[in-house]
DNA sequence: GATTTTCGTTACTTCGGTAAACAATTAAAG
DNA sequence: CTTTAATTGTTTACCGAAGTAACGAAAATC
């Protein structure tokens, strides 16, 4: 038990059972996020895809010819921040920046065959990681959690 | 709709309704975390307490004379990382590093009156922030969410 | 008494992300 | 039309939150 640096003052710790911190959604959300994110990295990690790269690639596969601005908005990050992610994916030959006839400003992102394949494998690995990590939850619990998290996501400050 | 950079290839987007990304707990967890953390900062922000400082102060108030090592472990961070947090709190005169008679290595953290008061106000502000942010959730939903997040936290890799 | 462990600390690095400015390009107003 | 606005991708500089490695002082172990 903490708070007992040998000369231990006040033993009111057991009296106080309102933990504040532990009852906050934000704090628990953060701690849970760190755990999941760490496991993700340990799974996909070591020259695999980072979470950022995975999510960017995922949307590129699902929405081929998506614009960088559109992608950034969907990911909830700034355009400037996306550049490095797309650079990394392009360097791995997982996608390409393609010129768009109509508008010479935009660069459409299109996954390569290699990228589509790598994404398929990554998805499998990620699903295995979640299956394993949340093995002690029932399907209902997972769906409930997902629903509640999405409910929070709806509060997102819109541009 | 994305993926339609004017010359819009394949319209299979509507066909594909398995979103992958949106069905991942990890992704939703992260997005939700960012939203809550941002609102926390906007509330307590501007020379208020950061989330790190708040949680460290919280545990110091609850467990006076807690050791830095103990605190770091409870927060799930490295001892080295805690130093800057304690430095910041000490600079604000919210707590003090007190020498411990028995062991000259450790520094017991003890909140000041000013710190206890500031923490009290911060707690109120944080609770208001969560009440407001999660106003569209029932008490049951919040408790369910808390329970599920704690279930994830139990998987924490122990030192 | 010699060795090992613990504690707080420093220095360095990494990662994810924002903000501001910019050139090129397109759209909108006049 | 021409001038002004806005948009796109990008670079650069910065910041916050962490981790790792090493260290000296002190304590614990053998």
CA atoms of B40 and A28, how far apart (whole Å): 14
Of the candidates A53, A2, A74, the residue with the CA atom closest to the CA atom of residue B56: A2
Mean pLDDT of chain B: 89
Q: Is the CB of A156 under 7 A from strand C?
A: no
The whole-number pLDDT of residue B12 equals: 35
- CB B42 within 8 Å of CB B110: no
Q: Span B9-16, mean pLDDT?
A: 38
Q: Span B19-47, mean pLDDT?
A: 93
The whole-number pLDDT of residue B28 equals: 98
Gap from A134 CA to C30 C1', Å: 62
The whole-number pLDDT of residue B6 equals: 44
- CB A71 within 8 Å of CB A109: yes
List of chain A residues whose C-beta atoms are within 8 Å of the C-beta of residue B149:
25, 28-29, 31-32
CA atoms of B146 and B150, how far apart (whole Å): 6
Is A135 in CB contact (< 8 Å) with chain B? no
Q: Which residue is nearest to nucleotide C9 (CA to C1')?
A: B80
Q: How close does chain B come to A103, measured CA to CA in Å?
A: 8
Which residues, 6 or more positions from B95, have their beta carbon under 8 angstroms from its beta carbon? B57, B60, B86, B89, B109, B110, B111, B112, B115
Determine the 3-state secondary structure of B96 from DSSP: strand
| Mutation target among A148, A153, A154 for the B interface, most CBs of B within 10 A | A148
Which nucleotide in the DNA or RNA is closest to residue B34, CA to C1'? C17
CA atoms of A110 and A88, how far apart (whole Å): 14
In this prediction, residue A1 has a pLDDT band, given cuts at 50, 70 and 90, of: low
The whole-number pLDDT of residue B17 equals: 47
Footprint of strand D on the protein (CB under 7 A): A 34, 67-69, 79-80, 82-83, 86-87, 97, 105-107; B 50-52, 76-78, 80-81, 102-105
Is B103 in CB contact (< 8 Å) with chain A? yes
Q: Span A74-97, mean pLDDT?
A: 97
Which residues, 6 or more positions from A84, have their beta carbon under 8 angstroms from its beta carbon? none
The whole-number pLDDT of residue B157 equals: 81
In this prediction, residue A95 has a pLDDT band, given cuts at 50, 70 and 90, of: very high
ipTM: 0.90
Gap from B3 CA to C20 C1', Å: 29
In this prediction, residue B11 has a pLDDT band, given cuts at 50, 70 and 90, of: very low
In this prediction, residue A157 has a pLDDT band, given cuts at 50, 70 and 90, of: confident
Q: Span B106-115, mean pLDDT?
A: 97
Residue bearing tokens 């959730």: B137
Q: Span A79-101, mean pLDDT?
A: 97
Question: Is B3–A40 a contact, with Cβ atoms under 8 angstroms apart?
Answer: no
| Domains assigned to chain B | 36-153 (1.10.10.10)
Residue bearing tokens 């360097």: A91
CA atoms of B159 and B150, how far apart (whole Å): 18
Tens of pLDDT, residue by residue over A102-114, are: 999 999 999 999 9
Q: Span A25-36, mean pLDDT?
A: 98
- DSSP conformational letter for A108: E
Nucleotides of D under 7 A from a protein CB: 7-13, 16-22, 24-28
């Amino acid at each position: 038990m903490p708070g007992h640096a040998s000369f231990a003052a006040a033993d009111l710790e057991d009296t106080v059972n309102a933990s504040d911190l532990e009852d906050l959604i934000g704090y628990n959300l953060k701690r849970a996020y760190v755990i999941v994110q760490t496991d993700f990295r340990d799974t996909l990690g070591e020259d695999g895809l980072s979470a950022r790269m995975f999510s960017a690639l995922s949307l590129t596969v699902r929405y081929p010819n998506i614009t960088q601005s559109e992608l950034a908005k969907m990911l909830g990050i700034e355009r400037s921040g996306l550049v490095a992610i797309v650079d990394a994916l392009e360097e791995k030959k997982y996608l390409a920046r393609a010129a768009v006839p109509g508008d010479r400003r935009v660069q459409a992102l299109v996954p390569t065959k290699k990228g589509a394949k790598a994404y398929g494998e990554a998805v499998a690995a990620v699903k295995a990681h979640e299956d394993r990590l949340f093995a002690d939850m029932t399907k209902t619990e997972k769906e409930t959690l997902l629903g509640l998290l999405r409910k929070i996501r709806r509060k997102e400050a819109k541009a």
